[in-house]
Structure 1
C-alpha cells in the first residue's frame, strides 16, 4: 500500500469516526446482530447489545435523550428497576441474593435507549427482518435435529428438535414470527400481491408445522389462539373473521389428528393436574399451582411493599415440607412462574402497579394500523399472556424479546407519527 493510499484510508476512517450518521449506522448494525443472535446465543446477544450501547455514546444528544426519558413509556420500566434496587433495603435475603434478583430487571433500562434511537433511525425494519430470518434458520435446524439428534448443541438434557436453548424459548420465537406475519400477508392480499403473500404464508406455516410435528410448549398452545383473536378483531371484518376462524379450526383439527406429539403435549395438562391433586407429584402444572398458592400467601403477609428484592427463595424454604408423599410442596424456588406473583412477593401492590403500568402504557403506544404497530402490540400481548405461566419479563430470552420488540417497533411508531404530524403542519 502506497503512502497516498494509506493517507486516504486514514482520512476516510477519521471522517467516519467523526460522522454521527456513521455511528448511527453502526448502532443499527449491532442492533441487527443482537436480534439475529438472540435465538441462538445469550452470550452473543449480550455482547452485541453492549457494543450497540457503546457506539451510541460518542454522538449522543444528552439533552434530547434525557428529555425522552420523561415520557411515561420510558418512566415505567425505569421505575421498576428503581423499585428493585430500593427493595434491597427491606429484604431479609443475603446481599448476594438481593443483587442477583435485581439483575433480571436491568434489561428494562435498554428499552428507553432503543425507543430513543429508533425514533431517529430509518433502519428499524432491518432488526425485525433479521430476527425473522434467524428464527426461520433455527426452524430448519430444529427439523434436522429432530431427525439427527447428534447435531444438537444442547445435550443436557436432550430435547427433541432443540438445537440450542429450550423448547419454551423456541416456541415463543416461532409463535411470535408466525402470528406477526399475518398482518403483511393480509395487506399483500388486499393489494393483490399474491406471490409475495404466498411466500410469507409458506414461511408462517413452516413455523406452525414445526410446532405441530416437532416440539411446542403448552404456553404457546394456549396463547396462539389468543394472538390470532387479537389480530382478527383489529384487522379483519366479520365475514373475513368467520372464514379465517373456520380455516384455523380445520387446520387445528387436522393437526390434532396428524400429530401424536401435539396430542401428547395437550393431554399432559390433565395428567399433570391429576398427578398433583391426587398424589402431590411435582409435575410441571402441579408445581406451578403450588408456587402460585404459596406466593399468594406471601403476598398477603406483606401486601403493600412486599418482602423485598431477592426474598422469594427464602420464603419458599421457610414453608417447604419434608420430602415425602407430597413432593410438590417440598420444592423450593426463587421464581413462582407467574410475572405478577413474582413482582407481588418482592414489591407488593406497588410493584404490581408499576408492572401493569408498563404493559398498559406499551399497549397504548401501539394503537395505529401499521406493521410496526402490529408487531409491537403482538410483543406486548404475548408477554402479558405468557407471563401468566412464567416470569417472562424477567427471563433472559423472553425479556429481551420484549425489550427489543417494544424498543424497535415503538421507536418506529413514534417516528412515523412525528412524520405524519409534520406533514399535517405543512398542509395546514
Structure 2
C-alpha cells in the first residue's frame, strides 16, 4: 500500500470516527448482532449489548436522552430497577444474595436506551429480520439434532429432545413469537396479492409450529399460542375470517395431536403432574409451582406494603421448607415461577403496581396498526401471559426478548408518530 493510499485510508477512518451517522450505523449493527445471537448464546448477546451501549456514548444528545426518560414507557422500567435497588436496604438476606437478585432487573435500564435510539434510527426492522433468520436457522439445527443427537452442545436428555443450545422453554418462546408475529405480514401480503412472498412466510411460520408439535414444546407455549393467535384475530380479522381460520386451526391441531406422540405426551403432563401432587404429594413440576405459589402468598401477606426486600426469597423458602406443611421432595428455589408473586414477595404492593405499570404503558404504546405496533404488542402479551407460570421479565432470555422487542418496536412506533406529527404541522 502506498503512502498516499495509507493517508487516504486514515483520513476516511478519522472522518467516520467523527461522524454521528457512522456511529449510529455501528450502534444499529451491534443491536442487530445482539438480537441475532440471543437464540444461540447468552455470552455473545451480553457482549454485543455492551458494545451497543458503548457506541451510543460518543454522540449521545444527553439533554434529549434525559428528556426521553420522563415518558412513562421509559420511567416505569427505571422505577422497578430503583425499587429493587432500594429493596436491598430492608432485606435480611446476605449482601451477595441481594445483589444477585438485583442483577436480573438491570437489563430493564437498556429498554429506554433502545426506545431513544430507534426513535431516531430508520433501521429498526433490521433487528427483527435478524432475530427471525436466527430462529429459522436454530429450527433447522433443532431438526438435525433430533436425527443426530451428537450434534447437540448439551448432554443428552430425552426431555430436551431437539435442543442444540439453551433449553426447550427458551426455544419454544422464540419459535412461538416468530410464528405468530408472521401472521401480520402474511395478511398484508395477501391483501396486496403478493402470493409468493406470503406463501414463503406461511411456510416459515408453519416450520416453527411443526417443530414445536413434533420435536419439543414447553407447556407454557401450548397455553400462550392460542391466546396470541386470538389477539391477532380480534385485532385484524373479520368475524367470518375468524370462523374459517378457527376451523382450519382446529383441524390442524387435531391432525397434529393424532400424528405427534411428543405433543400428546407434553399435554398429558398437565393432568398427570397435578394428580400426583394433589393425591400422592409427589413433587412434580406443576406441584412445585403450586407449592411455591402457596407459600409466596403467605410471604406477601406477612409484608404486603414493601415486601421482604431484594433477595429475600431464598431465605424465606429455606425456612418454609423446614415446616411440616412443605411437601417433601420439593426443591427450595428462590423464584416462585410467577412474575407477580416474585415481585410481591420482595417489594410488596408497590412492586406489583410498578410491574403492572410497565405492562400497561407498553401495551398502550402499541395501540394502532402497523408491523411495529403488532410486534411490540405481541411481545408484551407473550411476556404477560408466560409470566403467569414463570418470572420471564427477570429471566435472562425471555427478559431480553422483552427488552429488545419492546425497545426496538417502541422506538419505531415513536418515530412513526413523530413523522406523522411533522406532516400534520406542515399541512396546517
Indicate whether the TM-score tops 0.5.
yes
Indicate if the aligned counterparts of 1:311 and 1:346 stay in contact, CA closer than 8 A: yes
In structure 2, do the counterparts of structure 1 residues 344 and 317 end up closer, same or farther at CA, with 3 Å as the change threshold?
same
Number of aligned pairs? Answer: 427
Whether the 8 Å CA contact 1:359–1:384 is kept in 2: the answer is yes
Describe the SS at the equivalent of 1:327. Answer: coil
**Residue 242 of structure 1: aligned partner:** 243
Quote the offset at 1:4 in angstroms: 0.3
Q: In the TM superposition, what is the alpha-carbon distance from 1:75 to its structure 2 partner? A: 0.5
User: What is the Cα deviation at residue 337 of structure 1?
Assistant: 0.2
State the shift of 1:319 in Å.
1.1
Superposed displacement of residue 156, structure 1: 6.6
2:314 aligns with: 313
State the shift of 1:155 in Å: 1.6
Residue of structure 2 equivalent to 1:359? 359
> Which one is further off, 149-158 or 204-213?
149-158
Q: Determine the C-alpha separation between the residues in 1 that align with 2:93 and 2:347.
A: 14
- The 3-state SS of whatever aligns with 1:144 is helix
| Alpha-carbon separation, structure 1, partners of 2:238 and 2:228 | 16
1:262 aligned residue = 263
Counterpart of 2:282 in 1: which secondary structure?
coil
Asked if 1:161 is matched to 2:139, the reply is no
Q: Aligned with 2:415: secondary structure?
A: helix
Residue 93 of structure 1 aligns to a residue whose secondary structure is coil
Measure the CA separation in 2 of the matches of 1:220 and 1:331: 24
Which position in structure 2 is the counterpart of 1:28? 28
The answer on whether the counterparts of 1:308 and 1:347 sit within 8 Å (CA) in structure 2 is yes
State the Cα RMSD in Å. 1.2
Shift of 1:321: 3.6
CA shift in 2, pair 1:219/1:242, >3 Å: same
Q: Which runs of 5+ in 1 are unaligned?
A: none
Alpha carbons 1:280, 1:325 under 8 Å: kept? no
Does the 8 Å CA contact 1:188/1:196 hold for their aligned counterparts? yes
Could you report, residue by residue, the CA deviation over 1:198-245 in whole angstroms, capped at 9, with x for unpaired residues? Answer: 000000000000000000000000000000000000000111111111
SS in 1 for 2:309: coil
The SS at the match of 2:368 is coil
Map 1:15-414; keep pairs closer than 5 Å.
Answer: 15-155=15-155, 157=157, 159-321=160-322, 326-328=327-329, 330-414=330-414
Superposed CA offset, 1:103-156 (max 9, x none): 000000000000000000000000000000000000000000011100001227
CA contact (8 A) 2:182 2:205 kept: yes
Contact between 2:149 and 2:156, CA under 8 Å: does it hold in 1?
Answer: no
Q: Give the Cα–Cα distance (whole angstroms) in 1 for the partners of residues 326 and 417 of structure 2.
A: 60
Whole-angstrom CA distance in 2 between matches of 1:13 and 1:247:
57
Q: CA deviation at 1:157?
A: 4.9
Counterparts in 2 of 1:100 and 1:157: CA distance versus 1, 3 Å: farther
Alpha-carbon distance change, 325 to 16 in structure 1, aligned in 2, over 3 angstroms: closer
Structure 1 CA distance, aligned partners of 2:230 and 2:261?
26
| TM-superposed deviation, 1:331 | 2.5
- What is the alpha-carbon distance in structure 2 between the residues aligned to residue 268 and residue 181 of structure 1? 29
Q: What CA deviation, in whole Å up to 9, does each residue of 1:39-75 have, x standing for no partner? A: 0000000000000000000000000000000000000
CA contact 1:279–1:325 (8 Å) conserved in 2: no
User: Separation in 2 of the partners of 1:109 and 1:141?
Assistant: 33
Distance verdict in 2 for CA 1:356–1:322, change over 3 Å: closer
Instruction: Output the TM-score relative to the length of structure 2.
Output: 0.98
Paired with 1:288 and 1:26, the residues of 2 have a C-alpha distance of 43
Take 1:128 and 1:370, find their aligned partners in 2: how far apart are those partners? Answer: 14
